[in-house]
Chains A and B, each alone.
Chain A
């Protein structure tokens, strides 16, 4: 295991307004500040993966990996991922945010945007390759565990799942901890849970999970 605060190559802590902030190297996407060396700010309040790095949650990401990103939305987080990762497949179901995602993809040759439903992997299995090293999931639908299980087929045996669970998408009425427990017990059908940590400092009622496939 590496030190808990290790960041992937391509993600750096740099000074912005005299504060140490997360950055990646790439073109600006959503009006975030960028320093003279081309490093742009990665706001942990707008990105759950950014919040994970900020909270020193061990992901094992070292940079250059192949990524399948489910729930890319307008590409805020995925733009940073593509800055430090290898081939990055970005799946998003809603057409309106995909308009913005396309802008992000145009300037990033390793980012492959697909307008597909993450609940139906067969609609993109003819495009997305096998032995993906990281499956990153941030979808706001009910059945988030099922989505992770259905997409396990893309993962390499030694690959990893990084899952952001949004309690409110699953059930608005129950206590978030109960919702997380239910989702994680379903997830155990196909994954071994490594880490489970809430992101409340940055995102209310969200849980980050790191897991490996059990095959």
Chain B
């Protein structure tokens, strides 16, 4: 072929047409400045007999390449962690809903309990004397298992988050760190978000209401659950949220690009939050 091949290689330039994995790798990793009439070139350089064979080969290689790319994305740690978090949220929501149903259904059969979970536990312990009570206790047992599953998922997130994002986890706690990663669509995306965006992640409704001129700007999104924001006097929460989000943005970038723990940013944040809280002496947290 012409000189184009060196600076503008086709996916099939350097491969054995029988080696589908090599072809797939070439498709995934390759790049070219300008597209060419590849099918004709492939036939001319005798890689394939005709364009029909060319498209067959390309079809199979592209499927293998894309399959591998999707698998490696799905297998990445932050992806698994995000699945755990959304699963935990789903399990919790379902368990709560079924608990309401059980309270409605079986509330008269037991003494009043303080919490929903206690109600479910008592209903699961009833020795059923009628067919309907058998159904009731059976459902209660299942719901108890859902609560256990939720706790197990949370435990998994708590042990794994630090391996995926050590600084973010140390700063925000495992669940909030994972939630921020999920809201941003991955650690890589989070690392590319400006602090102002991270500050209001999870408050999109309020943000767009504000942008349309219907409301004031949200001061915090998902990060509200953190003690640094919630534990600060309302008058200073905006400042605390801004300071917190700023350091979270840095933490996410360190986690994505280097992955090592960096103590100094954590110390800086602690100092900063103390300074903000010192403005109001009612803040004793």
Contacts and interface: CB of A to CB of B under 8 A. Distances in A.
B212 interface: yes
A127 B66 contact: no
Nearest to A122: B31
Contacts of B205: none
Residue of B35, B37, B63, B74 ringed by the most chain A CB atoms within 10 A: B35
A126 B9 contact: yes
Contacts of B73: 95
A92 to B, nearest CB: 9
Contact of B58 (A101, A106, A121, A127): A127
B41 to A, nearest CB: 9
A153 interface: yes
A129 interface: yes
Given A87-B55, A95-B74, A173-B212, A125 B63 contact: no
A184 interface: no
Contact of A126 (B32, B39, B59, B66): B32
A149 interface: no
Given A99-B70, A126-B10, A126-B31, A113 B62 contact: yes
Contacts of A112: 55, 58-59, 62
Nearest to B42: A129
Contacts of A154: 35
Interface in B16-50: 26-27, 30-39
B55 A122 contact: no
A154 B37 CA distance: 10
B35 A109 contact: no
A109 B53 CA distance: 11
B141 to A, nearest CB: 34
Residue of B58, B62, B74, B211 ringed by the most chain A CB atoms within 10 A: B62
Contact of A95 (B55, B62, B69, B212): B69
Given A110-B55, A126-B30, A172-B208, A98 B36 contact: no
A114 B66 contact: yes
A101 B65 CA distance: 13
Interface residues of B, number: 32
Nearest to B33: A122
B62 A127 contact: yes
B56 interface: yes
B67 interface: yes
A47 to B, nearest CB: 22
A153 B33 CA distance: 10
Contact of A173 (B32, B34, B63, B211): B211
Contacts of B208: 172
Chain A contact surface mostly: mixed
B219 to A, nearest CB: 21
Nearest to A154: B35
Nearest to A172: B208
A105 to B, nearest CB: 6
Nearest to B51: A87
A121 to B, nearest CB: 8
B11 interface: yes
A113 to B, nearest CB: 5
B70 A114 contact: no
Nearest to A111: B59
Contacts of B74: 95
Given A129-B35, A130-B37, A153-B35, A109 B55 contact: yes
17 contacts: A95-B74, A101-B66, A102-B70, A113-B66, A114-B66, A122-B31, A122-B32, A122-B33, A125-B31, A126-B10, A126-B30, A126-B38, A129-B38, A129-B39, A130-B36, A153-B34, A172-B208
Interface of B: 8-11, 26-27, 30-39, 55-56, 58-59, 62-63, 65-67, 69-70, 73-74, 208, 211-212
Interface of A: 87, 95, 98-99, 101-102, 105-106, 109-115, 121-123, 125-131, 153-154, 172-173
Give the 5 A-B CB pairs with smallest separation, nearest first.
A126-B32, A95-B73, A125-B32, A126-B30, A125-B35
Given A102-B67, A125-B35, A126-B10, 19 more contacts: A87-B55, A95-B73, A95-B74, A98-B70, A101-B66, A106-B63, A111-B59, A114-B66, A115-B65, A121-B35, A122-B33, A123-B31, A125-B34, A126-B8, A126-B30, A126-B35, A127-B30, A129-B38, A130-B35
